[in-house]
Amino acid sequence: MMKKVVSSIVALFLMLLIGAVPVSAHVQNEKNLYSDIEYSEVLQEIVLLHGIRAIGIEGGVNLFKPFELLTRSDLAFWAGRFHGLGGAGAAADAIRQAALEEGLVPSLDGYATYGDVNQAYFGGAAPVVDAEATMTREDFALYMGQFFTEPVDGKTLFDMANYEAGPTGIVEEVDKVTVTEGDNTYDVFRIAIGGKWYQVSHHPKILNGPVDLTQWIDKMVEASWYAPASADDAEGELDIIKVGEAQFTDEEIGAIPDTEAGHSHGEEDIAAGGAEEDADGSEDAGEAQDVSAPVDTSLQPLQSTADEAEKDGGRSLPIVLIIGGALLVLILLWLILRKRK
């Protein structure tokens, strides 16, 4: 009996130890963004909404739960993040409270209605058929998806998120640099379209294409959008890319490159209770580079990211070791005392 108890505690300690290691997948598509949307009729809308940070993942569980009713609590978190409430890196509960105080939602209790969603994102200005009706999370994506192209008060959802349209056309070349941050290794890409190089962001969202962009040569990019440019990145980066349909098989789209194997969502997506990367920024897309120019990997910003990742890993790992070690010591003391009796 005692051996079983000791074995169980040791196994639990090892699980905690493994779970404490920071992991990330940096290129996300419809196959690895959420694990339960593959057969959803609004898969594209879900990926795009996540891409512009109109929805998000909380607590590290990559489930969209399309058939569950949308709660006002989740609506407050999503819409609050989208509007930049709570400040950078704010906890989920702080964002919810800020959304409530700003009048984005009438309450944090109960289920959200179409009227609630309209108020939360558009200040009540969007068209609604039945404002009192509740909706599933899939219904939410379907409703919101129409506003990618239909403006409300002169702005589409892309405009509201400060995302600008990027290049379209045949991918002529792909440039890849493999980067290591602590225990994480991932690829950073540039793609050449129409004789110009375009930098892809470190955490892009992809539709209809594999996460290994080196497979994209001679494939058509149907649409793309620049992320809001930051102060130290005036040129902007392609953050959402939609490849033309039927250019890749399901197996190719779902393939996991060696550098991504064994990793899950990026730290900006699953910070416990926190928001994803801030969507605010300027609207300047910047000039693209000439395809004949020397490769500019633009990896300087990675140093601070790597430092943060190492700090986060350094905080969580010792805590788990201390707790696990304390448990093992208590077990050993108990065994010694038991033998003496």
- Domain residues of the chain, as ranges? 1-21+317-341, 38-160, 164-254+266-272+279-302
Tokens coding 46? 């879900």
Q: What is the rounded CA–CA span in Å between residue 233 and residue 241?
A: 19
Tokens coding 341? 């009796």
Lowest mean pLDDT among 36-40, 130-134, 226-230, 288-292: 288-292
Q: What is the average pLDDT across 266-293?
A: 40
Give 187-217 pLDDT, tens digit per residue.
Answer: 999 999 999 999 999 999 999 999 999 999 9
Q: What is the rounded CA–CA span in Å between residue 340 and residue 2?
A: 16
Residue 179, CA distances (Å) to 146, 197, 259, 301 in order? 37, 19, 9, 12
pLDDT band at 176 (very low <50, low <70, confident <90, very high): very high
pLDDT band at 123 (very low <50, low <70, confident <90, very high): very high
What H or E segment, with its residue span, contains residue 141?
helix 137-145
Pairing of strands 164-165, 169-181: unpaired
Dihedral through CA 240, CA 33, CA 109, CA 275, nearest 10? -60
CA 332 to chain centre: 43
In DSSP notation, 251-320 reads HHHH---TTTTT--B-HHHH-TTB--S----B----PPEETTSPP----TTHHHHHHHHHHHHHHHHHHH
Q: What is the pLDDT of residue 327?
A: 63
pLDDT band at 173 (very low <50, low <70, confident <90, very high): very high
Task: Give bridge partners of residue 178 from the DSSP assignment.
Answer: 187
pLDDT band at 23 (very low <50, low <70, confident <90, very high): very low
Q: What is the pLDDT of residue 303?
A: 36
| Average predicted confidence (pLDDT) for the chain | 79
Q: What is the rounded CA–CA span in Å between residue 41 and residue 46?
A: 10
Tokens coding 15? 């699980």
Q: What is the average pLDDT across 305-310?
A: 38
Q: What is the rounded CA–CA span in Å between residue 155 and residue 150?
A: 8
pLDDT band at 265 (very low <50, low <70, confident <90, very high): very low
Q: What is the rounded CA–CA span in Å between residue 174 and residue 216?
A: 8
**Whether 174 contacts 189, CB under 8 Å:** yes
Q: What is the pLDDT of residue 119?
A: 99
Does position 276 have pLDDT exceeding 50, yes or no?
no
φ, ψ of residue 184 to 5 degrees: the values are -100, 135
Pairing of strands 238-243, 196-207: parallel
φ, ψ of residue 238 to 5 degrees: the values are -75, 120
Q: What is the rounded CA–CA span in Å between residue 157 and residue 76?
A: 17
Q: What is the rounded CA–CA span in Å between residue 256 and residue 262?
A: 9
Q: CB count, 10 Å around CB of 156?
A: 16
Q: What is the pLDDT of residue 96?
A: 97
pLDDT band at 257 (very low <50, low <70, confident <90, very high): confident
